[in-house]
Structure formats: C-alpha cells, structure tokens
Structure 1
Amino acid sequence: MAETPALTITQADDRRGSVLSALLPESLTLPPLFLSTSPIAREILQNDIDEQIADEPLPSDSDSDSDTDVASEPPAADDAKLAFHGPTGVVYGCGFSSIPLPGVDRPVPNPREIEESLQAEVSLLRDNGVLPPKQRHGSVVDRVYHHMFNADDIPGHESSLLPADEVTPLLGDVEGDYGAQTPMPKDVHKLWEEAVAAHHLKTTWQREAKTLVGYALPLIVTFLLHYSVTIGSVLAVGRLGMLELGAVNLATMTASITCYVPVQGLATCLDTLCSIAYGSGNKQLVGLQAQRMTVLLWLLMIPIAVVWWFSEPILIALVPEEEIAQMAAAYLRILIIGMPGVAALESAKRFVQSQGLFHITTYALFIGAPVSFLLDWALVFHFGWGFSGAAFAMAITQNLLPLLIAAYVFLFEGSQCWDGLNRKAFRNWGPMIKLALPGMIMVEAQFSVLEILTIAAGQFGPAKFGAQSILVTVTSTSFNIPFPLAIATSTRVANLIGAGLADAAQVTAKVGVVGACIVGTFNLCLFVFLREQIAKVFTPDAEVIAIASQVMLVCACMEIFDALAAVSHGILRGIGRQAIGGYANLFAYYFIALPVGLSTAFALGWELSGLWVGLTAGLAAVSAIELLYLYHANWETAAAQAQSIMRSEDANSELKQHGS
C-alpha cells in the first residue's frame, strides 16, 4: 500500500472537535469512487475470463473509440487525472428525492473519458497560466469570456505560474482544439503533476458554474424525456376522471416499489462490471454481463408478475376506495406486458454507458417519448380503450425503448462489445447477486416512504387521492432539474478530489449549493404562481384542482430543501462520504418525515397537506445534516485518501503485470 501523503493543516482541522464530527465520523465507509476495485467484481470477471480462455482465446481490444485525439499520440489511462471518474448513473431512470444513486466501485475510464480528462486538464492549465492561452481574435465577446473564466483575477494568483522555459519546449506545431499549439498528452500530464504538487492550480466560481451547467443540461434533457413517459400516462388518465387519476397513481407507485426500483437497484452492479470489463480490454464481457443481468431480472420478475396479477385483494385492503383499487389492479395486470422491456432497458443503458455512449439513451428517448404520447392519445381517446389504453401505451413504450437502443448499437456504434447470445449468461449468478443486493436494499428502503404516503393519501377520499397523483407527478418532474445538477456536482467534485485539488473541489461544492438554491427558488416560483394552471393540465375536475392547488403551496416550500438535499448528497458522494447521506436519508425519512407527516395528516386533521409537511420536514433535516457535515468536513483528508488509494491500486496493477 502506498503511504498517505502528509496533510496540509487547514481551517477545517480546527473544527474536528465539534459535536457534529463526533456524531458523524469521517471513518465511515470509504467511497466507491475511491475504493480499490471490488473483489466481488474481480471474481465475477475473472471467472468469465477463465471460462472464455478454456473455450477459446479471449481477444483483448483496448483500441480507442474516440474520433479525435488530444495530440498525435494515443491517450493513456495514466494521463487521465481530472476527469478520471465518469458521471456514472446519468442514464438511470429518474427518481424522487429519496432515491440516491449508490455507486458500487470506482469506475474504469473509457477512451472518451480519458480524452475529456486531458481536455479539462489543458483548459485549467491555460486558465492558471501554466500553458499559454488560446489565440483570440480580440473581439468584445472573447475578452469578456476570458475575463469571466480565467483564474488570473484570483487574489495572489500570478499570470504565469511556471517559467516560460518550462513550457515552451513542450509545445509542438500541431494545430488542435487547444489553440495554435498543442502539447503531447504526456507533457500535459507532467505539467499537471508539477502544478498540483506546487499548489498552483486554482479555479473560479465562473469556471465551475460553466462546467456544472455543461454537465447538467444534457442530463436534464435526458431525465425529463425519460419521465415524460409517466407524465403522458397521467395526463391522459387525468382527463377521464378523479378515480382514474388516483388509480394510476396507486398502480404506478406499487409498480415502482415492487418492480422498477428493485430492478434499478440490482442493475447498479453493471456500472462496476461493465466499466471494468470495457476498461480492461475484454469488451465481449460487457455484453455477457448485460445478458446475465437481463436473464436474472427476467426470472425475478416471474413472482412479481404473479403478485401483480392477483394484487386486487391486497390493494383493496390498503385503500378504502374499492373501485380505485380494482382499477389499479387492472392497470398492473396490463403492465406485466412491459416487464421484459423494463429489465432489458436497465441493462441496455449500462451496456452503452460503460462505453461512454451516453447519447444513445437520449436518442432512444427522443423517439420513444413522442411515440408514448401518441400511443396515449390513440389508445385512450381515439380507439376508446380508456383507462386500459394508458396501461397498454406504457407497456408498449417500456418494450420499445430497449429495442431502440439495440437498433442504434447494431446499426451505428457500440456493437464491438456484443458477441452474440451466450449460454454463460445462465452461470455465475451468485457473486453478481451479492454485488447487487446492497444497492437495491438502500434504494428500496428509501423509496418505500413515498409508497407509504401514497397509501395514507388514499384514506382521505378519491378527490384527495387524485390530487396526490398530480402532486407526486409534478414534484417528481421538478426533481429532474436539481437531480442532474447533483450528479454534475458529484462528478466534478470527485474529479477534483481525485486529482488532489481540494480547494478547487470546495469552490465547486459552493457553486453547487448556490445552484441548488437557484433551482429550488425557480421551482418554488413555478409552484406558487402557476399552481392552478399546473393542476388544470392534469384534470378538468374542479375539486381535484382546488385541492392540488392548495397543497402545492406546501410542495413549493419543499422544493428548496429538495434541491439542497439532492446536491448536498451529491457533494458527499464526491468527497467519499455518501454513507453519511444514506444514513441521514434513512433517519430523516423514517424518524422525521413519516412521524411528522402521519401525525399532522391524521392527528391534526391537515390530511394531504400534512403528508407533504412531513416530507418537507424530512428533506429539511436531510439538507441540514448533510450541509453541516460538509462545513465541518476535512477536504484535504478526502483528497489525500483518494490519492493514496489510487496510487496503491496502480502499484498493485504494476505488480500483477510484472508477475504475469
């Protein structure tokens, strides 16, 4: 093991004796982003490699899939420091605030991420004067941009951090994306290491804001497209009546808690397995892992389908409105048709994500989402299938999305990781299940709070139950703005921490928190000023609109804490303290949100408003705990741990290579 480097004494060290630090020690579980590669994941892949070698030699293809190079020589993983940790989980299905995205292990960078890392390094080196700036044409826009995003105006920061003779010889004559002259990747890496060691690299609020916006915007589009499938179903059903609106809410929440969330949680292990297989050059194993998980999920769905088919008496026992329960059970029976697509989609998303092909899922959604809206209109209204038509539209879309991803892969890019159907997909399940269970349990435990609140809302009558459907849909939709911001902040903080730039990571965290406040305020304003118009989009029923509009004022207050909780949890993931966020979530939801929500709803008679007051209180507690912990955290320690573990992992890899 490499020795942990000496830590710099900072102001954070003076706060180590606080009560909060004693209650929430930093010695909790180290981060997946910084941990050595999971032994279970290595066991799974080694078993597959051994079996493959026994049958036939396994080719190792580690050629770069990137269309452009940073310089004339190919990038290497050792040259990728700033963006070493890719934004895993960005193509997950959207969720509510109670669903974190627990990583399982430190991802292996693919060639696209390595190139992005080098580009980011060069950009920051230019900002700090280590490399000459790009050639500028002298326009007003160029000068304003340079002033906003350059670090020269940092107090005490010099315009040139390294002598000219250390930089000039590194510059070649190649015209590239970085200006008139582009250094070789190895030279960029050398300069980067020297600047980090000398504590010369700084960043600005402007640069980090630009970076986070660049990361988050495409994720927002993807997440909103994905959730629009659910929105379309609710919009169509809402035009039929309040009973149908309440039934689709009950059916959707039941489907999520019993199938969608467990499937999503189990599939998280593919983030580790597929990225390691691709990064090690064993590309055929990427397709094998995706096949194995798909088959496993299909088999697990058989008992779930049985429960859905006979769910009517269960739902009647939980919800006093028998007609709503019967309609929800009928909806679930039709959704069984879409089960194979749900499992295949989770595997397909990670299959392309491990190759850095995040855009494929977005392209599929650009087609699938409009088709879903068209199916809702055609089946519900044009052909007169009514409530059942919305369920059939949902099931068809669920099966269509993985087919669209598969078609793109085979027609355009990504097929190099697919070696056809393989009987090995039916073996080696034990380690995969062991690797997947922790993620599923955490996600399931936290999401179940919403199911409990939904069942509680059913006690207040069909009108309030229909309003609850609107509120859940609207708040879940609005969460697709701060949630991508949280992923972007987590990724950027992890990148900077992994590169040893603790000060820069703190700047990013502050920008992320401010961004969360801005996003939360934006959502709050929408909920306050457009609450009646939003409710009218979902239903023409005046009673449901009035109830939803009134309770939406409570949801508006929740939006601030919702955004803060999401981003603060993302920052904790970035510095390797996501265990704190997981425990804080469980505590806040089960010991604050549920008791407060149920007591105010039933004991005080606030009914639906009380349930959302409880959830708001839980989110306020989560954001307060996480932000206080971040204030007292020692970021230098997190950076030192990351550096130490990555160096030890690199040393172990070299020893294995020499030993072989």
Structure 2
Amino acid sequence: MDSALLEVHPPSYGALPTTEKSLRSESGFIARSSGPLIVTFVLQFLLETTTIFVSGRLGPDELAIVSLALCSLNITALAFYQGMSTSLDTFCSQAFGAGKPLMVGVYFQRCSLMMLLVTVFPLMPVFWYSGSILKLLVPSETLAMECQTFLRIMMFGTPGLLFFETGKRFFQAQHLFNAGTYALAVAVPIHFVLNWFLVLHPNTGLGLMGAPIALSLSFWISSLAMLVYAFFSNGKQCWGGFDIQKASTNWGPMLKLALPGVVMVEAEYLAFEVMTILAASFGTTSLAAQSIGSNVGAMVFQIPFAVSVAVTTRIGHFIGIPDTKAAVYITRISLGLAACMGLFNFIVLFMGRTALSRLYSDDANVITAASKVLMLAATNQFCDCINIVSAGILRAQGRQKVGSYLNLVSYYIIALPLGYVLAFVFDLEVYGLWMGLICGVFVLACGEIWCILRSNWDQIVVTCNSNHDS
C-alpha cells in the first residue's frame, strides 16, 4: 500500500492519492484511528465525572447542585459546541482530501469565530440569569440559585471548551488523532490537583464554588495544551496564520451544516434528560436504575463514537479527492464494523449487568432494577452502534440536515411518546421508557441506513465543491 492515508505516521499534506483498498487495511486504519479517540473521549468524560465525585464528598446537597448545573451546562453549551463542530467534520476532512491544507485552518478559524458569536456570547446572559429559569423546573429555590452561581463561574470556561472541540476537528481532519489524547493527558492530572486544592483542601479549598473554577481552568488548559501540540506536530502545516477576513465571511454554507448538527446532538441529549425526569416519577429506586443505565450507556457510547469520527474523516477525505468508489467501499466496511460493535457491546453489558450495577450501589433493590435496565440498554446497543456510525457517514457527506430530521422523528415522535405510554399506561415504569427508546433508535438506524444506501455520491461531490471556498 503506497497511500499516505494508510500509514501510521501523519499523512502528507497534498492531495490524497487514490489507491487499491482492502478490507484488512481499511478496518485496520479505522481501528488504529479509533484507539486514541476512545482514550480522548474517556479522558474528557473524566473531567466532569471528577467534578461530580469531588462535589459528592462535600455532601448530598452539593452533589445535587453540581449534577443539575452540569446537566444544564451540557444541554446548553456542550451540545451546541459539539453540534456546530460537526460542520468541521465535513469541511476540514473534505478540504484536506482535496489537497487544500490551508483551508483546514481557515475553516477552523471560521467555525470558532462563528461559535463565539452565535453561542458563547448569547449564552452568557442565560447563565447569568439561569436561576430564574431553574426555579421553574426544580422545587428548591436554594438549589436553583446555587446552580446559577456555578454556571456564572463556568461562563469563563466555556470558550476554552469551545476551542478544544473545534481544535479536535482541526487535528482529526489531518489524521492526528492523538492531539486530544495528549492535551487531556496534561489537563486531567492537573484537574485532579485543582479539585483537591480548590474544593477539598482544608486551607485553600473554596468548597463547592471551587469546582467550577477548577473545571473552567481545566477546559482552558486542554485548549492551550492542544495549541502547544500544534507547534510540535505536522498539524501546523495546515495553519496559514490568522485571517480575520476569511474567518468572518462566507458563513452561510457552514451554518447550513452547523445548525442541523446542533439538532442532531441536542435531540439525543434532551431525550435522555426527559427519560431521567420521567423516571423520577416512579421513585428513587427507578431513578437510580435510570441514572446507572444512562451513565453506563454514556461510557459504552465512547467506542462507536470514536469509530464514527474515524469513519467521518476517512470518507470525507475521499469525497474531497474525489474518489466515490473508495468512499462507498469504506461506507460498507463501516456499517459492518458497526454491527460487530453492537454485538460486542450487547454481550459485555448483558453478561456484566449485575456486576456493573454493584459498582454503583449496594442496595439490593437498586441492583435488581439497574440489572434489568442494563439488559434493555444492552439490547439497544445493536441499533445504537449502527446509528452512531451512520451519523458519522452522514456528517462526512455533509448531510447533517437529513440526520436532524431523523433524530427528531425517532426520539420525539416514536421513542418518548411510546416510552411514556408503556411506562405510565401499561405500568412498565422505567423499563417502558427504555423499550420506547429501543424502538426509536431502531427506526433511527433503519432510516439512516436507507438514506446512506440511496446516496447520490456524484451529487455529494458536486455539493462538496460548491460549498468550499475557491
């Protein structure tokens, strides 16, 4: 194989050559690329998990405040950043494949500036007055106002999170999948130390309010560590310097992908939050079981999501070349890998459901309920892995709009209404919510596969060329 794309080291920055593909080489490439991405996503997951764990050491009230505040942060900030960054999955990978490395840097600047103006600055007043909103949703005014204080501090950390999300895409488009791993390998240990000194330390600790300070600093450290990485890697070859004129113009094509990308991500985030709220109606045991199921599902999610990122980059490159035959071939391999991952995740969760439940609780009733929820979560893995990888293929094609429609229909017309009926009308309680989710994700996966198999690849290439700057 003489393709630069198939080498372990970073590829050359010219147009990527068309070459003979094989099942072994392409599967190996996706596996090698996914490894560091899985580590990156797990480390990023640890930032918030550590904040929750440390806050829980302060007491149950502090744990409730941080849990609600981080839930609000994820729904408003993180989901928007991840959703809008999907436009870079399309633009950067296609530009790199087309042999336009400097445009990768331009798109990174454009998306970052756009997100600062469209999300960060508008979110600041939302965070500042979030207590007024949260008082309508939670019974305790004290809880709402403490969350408001937490989110006000987090305002200063959200730009760091934004640049980390867009920075990951900048490097991933160049097959530098280790960038996020190295950055978080620096940030996570520092995050542990910051939590000790700012939250728990008897002399320097600030108590609960030290937690958002530590998390905000860690977001910025992650971004700065990635910037340092750029100077010591080939990633800087895609950087032509700051160009405010190019960054502040031609937002239309990017917004057409970014906004549907937000809908794709936000639809799934909110669906799980609604399930958690509904599960609370059935008592603390059901709520605990739902929380365990969601948490385990979030951890397992990292594997297919990492694969989907690698797939997005790979297919996007060949669309940029353009080599539609290679893109179609990799699409088929990716769907096959997704099915295998679904089977693997099912076996792990199904066989380990009781042991996993015991990691979270010693209560016999909670363990029993959580084991049943994890059995349903395991079943959901079959279609969810296909859904996640298929969403990556749609991002590579620049078809986020299709994905947004499918997500809205699957979650809000099928999954949640059906889950509500099964839970409250048929008295299946939290298990009914998960059964509704399984049906919705099944429809979502089938819809995505149908759209992918009917793709007009020649038209996708034409659209790709028209969207990119000349």
Using the size of structure 1 for normalisation, the TM-score is 0.58
Q: 1:226 aligns with which of 37, 44, 62?
A: 44
Alpha-carbon distance in structure 1 between the residues aligned to 2:351 and 2:195? 26
Structure 2 counterpart of 1:587, from 409, 423, 427: 409
Q: Give the superposition deviation at 1:401.
A: 0.8
1:382 and 2:204 are equivalent in the alignment: no
**More moved, 268-277 vs 314-323:** 268-277
In the alignment, residue 231 of structure 2 is paired with which amino acid? F
Match of 2:167 in 1: 348
Native 8 Å contact 2:312 2:395 kept in 1: yes
Aligned to 1:262: 80
Alignment-derived partner of residue 111 in structure 1? 12
The answer to whether residue 61 in structure 2 is matched with residue 252 in structure 1 is: no
**RMSD (Å), alpha carbons:** 4.4
Are 1:338 and 2:157 matched, yes or no? yes
- Give 1:329 shift: 3.1
CA shift in 2, pair 1:229/1:528, >3 Å:
same
Aligned residues: 458
State whether residues 69 and 147 of structure 2, in contact with CA within 8 Å, keep that contact through their aligned partners in structure 1: yes
Return the offset for 1:292.
4.6
Given residue 217 of structure 1, which amino acid in structure 2 is its aligned partner? G
Instruction: Report the Cα offset of residue 607 of structure 1.
Output: 4.4
Stretch deviating more after TM superposition (273-282 or 356-365): 273-282
- What is the match of residue 125 of structure 2? 306
Cα distance in 1 for residues equivalent to 2:398 and 2:111:
27
Q: Do 2:415 and 2:440's aligned partners in 1 also have CA atoms closer than 8 Å? A: yes
Q: How does 1:438-517 map to 2 (within 5 A)?
A: 438-457=260-279, 459=281, 468-489=290-311, 495=318, 498-500=323-325, 504=329, 508-509=333-334, 511-517=336-342
Task: Spell out, residue by residue over 1:548-568, the C-alpha distance to the aligned partner (whole angstroms, 9 max, x if none).
Answer: 555334323323332232234
Query: Quick check: 1:534 aligned with 2:435?
Result: no
Paired with 2:450 and 2:241, the residues of 1 have a C-alpha distance of 51
Matched, 1:213 2:36: no
Equivalent residues of 1:208, 1:507 under 8 A apart: no
Equivalent position to 2:228, from 397, 403, 407: 407
Of all paired residues, the percent bearing the same amino acid is: 33
Distance 1:332 1:513, change over 3 A: same
Q: What corresponds to 2:350 in structure 1?
A: 525
- Determine the C-alpha separation between the residues in 2 that align with 1:290 and 1:623: 30
Is residue 372 of structure 1 aligned with residue 194 of structure 2? no
Alignment of 1:614 onto 2:436: yes
The alpha-carbon distance between structure 1 residues 642 and 619, as it changes in their structure 2 partners (threshold 3 A), is closer
Unmatched 5+ stretches in structure 1: 1-68, 71-79, 87-108, 125-202
Contact 1:234 1:248 in 2 (8 A): yes
Q: Residues 296 and 541 from structure 1, CA distance in 2 versus in 1: closer, same or farther, beyond 3 angstroms?
A: farther
- Matched AA of 2:354: F
Closer/same/farther in 2, CA of residues 220 and 434 from structure 1, 3 Å limit: closer
**How far did residue 403 of structure 1 move?**
0.8
What is the distance in 2 between the residues matched to 1:513 and 1:277? 26
Alpha-carbon deviation of 1:434?
A: 3.9
Report the counterpart of residue 623 of structure 1 in structure 2.
445
Which residue of 2 is the match for residue 319 of structure 1? Answer: 138
Partner SS, residue 155 of structure 2: helix
Distance 1:457 1:357, change over 3 A: same
More helix by share: 2
Matched residue, 1:17: none
SS in 2 for 1:318: coil
Change (3 A) 1:235 1:618: farther
Tell me the distance in 2 between the aligned counterparts of 1:351 and 1:498. Answer: 22
CA contact (8 A) 1:520 1:562 kept: no
User: How big is the shift at 1:614?
Assistant: 2.7
Following TM superposition, by how much is the alpha carbon of 1:404 offset from its aligned partner in structure 2, in angstroms? 0.7
Of residues 214-223 and 263-272 in structure 1, the stretch that sits farther from structure 2 once superposed is 263-272
Shift of the 514–347 alpha-carbon distance from structure 1 to 2, 3 Å rule, reads closer
Q: 1:572 to 1:207 in 2, by over 3 A?
A: same
The alpha-carbon deviation at position 355 of structure 1 amounts to 4.4
The one-letter amino acid of 1:428's match is: T
Preserved contact between residue 250 and residue 454 of structure 1 (Cα < 8 Å): no
Find the aligned partners of 1:301 and 1:212 in 2 and give their Cα distance: 33
Deviation at 1:508, TM superposition (A): 1.7
Equivalent position SS for 1:519:
helix
Q: How far is the alpha carbon of 1:387 from its aligned partner?
A: 3.6
1:454–1:323 Cα change, 3 Å: farther
Alignment partners' CA distance in 2, 1:324 and 1:340? 26
- State TM-score, norm by structure 2: 0.78
Q: Where do 1:2-41 residues align within 5 Å?
A: none
Task: Decide which structure has the larger Cα Rg and report it.
Answer: 1
Alignment correspondent of 1:551: 373
Give the conservation status (yes or no) of the 8 Å contact 2:376–2:434: yes
- Helix, strand or coil: the match of 2:340? helix
Give how far 1:481 is off.
0.9
Counterpart code for 1:525: F
Q: Which residue is equivalent to 1:129?
A: none
Q: Counterpart of 1:530 in structure 2: which amino acid?
A: A
Q: Given that residues 316 and 325 in structure 1 are in contact (C-alpha distance below 8 angstroms), is that contact kept between their aligned partners in structure 2?
A: yes
Deviations 1:387-431, CA, capped at 9 Å, x for gaps: 433333221211111111112223555445556656547843754
Q: CA 1:402 to 1:207, structure 2 compared with 1: closer, same or farther past 3 Å?
A: closer
Instruction: Assess, with a 3 A threshold, how the Cα gap between structure 1 residues 509 and 399 changes in structure 2: closer, same or farther.
Output: closer
1:392 paired residue number: 213
SS in 2 for 1:593: helix
